[in-house]
Amino acid sequence: MFADQFLPTYDVSDSVAVVVDANAARTWEALMDVDLMDVGRRKPLVGILTVARALPAIVRDLLRGKLPAPPPKQMRLRDTASMPASDGGWVLLGDDRGVSIALGLVGTFWRPVIAFAQVDRERFRDFAEPGFAKTVYELSVRELPDGRTLLTGLMRTATTDERARRMFRRYWTFGVGAGAHVLVDGVLDSAREIAERRNPDADPVPTPVAGRDRAGVT
């Protein structure tokens, strides 16, 4: 797993899983097609959590006379890695197409307005600047013997020093762990809905290749 490669030691971990009535190829395609903005619109609790987390930064910008940037109309998982790190853009840690994708983020998640560290994939595992937390979200598909697919989301977070650990654990205990669970569960459930809606006769057929595209595998 990419999570084991990039965050083998961690403070907290959580996972979410759903069984999809579709094969692995169709489920993966659906996962890559999930519009994260639409997840927030269609699943009220996800939308509330997203707005609540963004509100302090919006208020800060308004007090400084700066209008917040309009949200993108659409955003898929891979799109999150194209955002600037200073704006909370995720790092694409690994993309084993058709199997698993992992995204990482480094920041002061317990603060009302998060300060993000600009850490690329090569520095992510060894980044240890005090005062930060590193988190990895890995989403993967595995076809079951009956032809259905197990779609899984794994979330891990590690802190870089004792003070950050205390602050993050307090933040996690007061509901953030549940919030992360709800967010990822919303993404997986949306992927399940997309995959099960599509015509089984249109299942993508994997094309044989010499080797997989494995970003992050050494």
What tokens appear for 55 in the block? 């509100």
* CATH number of the domain within which 121 lies: 3.30.530
Q: How many domains does the chain have?
A: 1
Q: What is the pLDDT of residue 3?
A: 96
Q: Is residue 151 part of a domain?
A: yes
Please check the confidence at residue 138 and state whether its pLDDT lies above 60. Answer: yes
Q: What is the pLDDT of residue 4?
A: 97
One DSSP character per residue, 12-49 reads: EEEEEEEEESS-HHHHHHHHHH--HHHHHHHSHHHHHH
- Calculate mean pLDDT across residues 120-143: 96
Q: Is residue 204 part of a domain?
A: no
Please check the confidence at residue 216 and state whether its pLDDT lies above 80. Answer: no
Q: What is the pLDDT of residue 52?
A: 43
Please check the confidence at residue 167 and state whether its pLDDT lies above 80. Answer: yes
Q: Name which of 46-60, 69-83, 177-191 the model is least confident about.
A: 46-60
Do 160 and 23 touch, CB atoms closer than 8 A?
Answer: no
Domain span at 189: 2-56+71-198
Q: Is residue 43 part of a domain?
A: yes
pLDDT band at 33 (very low <50, low <70, confident <90, very high): very high
Chain mean position to CA 87 = 15
One DSSP character per residue, the chain reads: -HHHHH-SS-SEEEEEEEEESS-HHHHHHHHHH--HHHHHHHSHHHHHHHHHHHHHHHHHHHHTT-PPPPPPS---GGGGGGS-GGGTPPEEEEEETTTEEEEEEEE-TTSSSPPBP---HHHHTT---TT-EEEEEEEEEEE-TTS-EEEEEEEEEEESSHHHHHHHHHHIIIIIHHHHHHHHHHHHHHHHHHHHHS-GGGPPPPPP-SS--EET--
- The model's pLDDT over 55-94, given as tens digits with 9 standing for 90+, comes to 334 444 444 566 556 666 777 888 888 887 766 678 999 9
Q: In whole numbers, what is the pLDDT of the chain averaged over residues?
A: 80
Q: Is residue 52 part of a domain?
A: yes
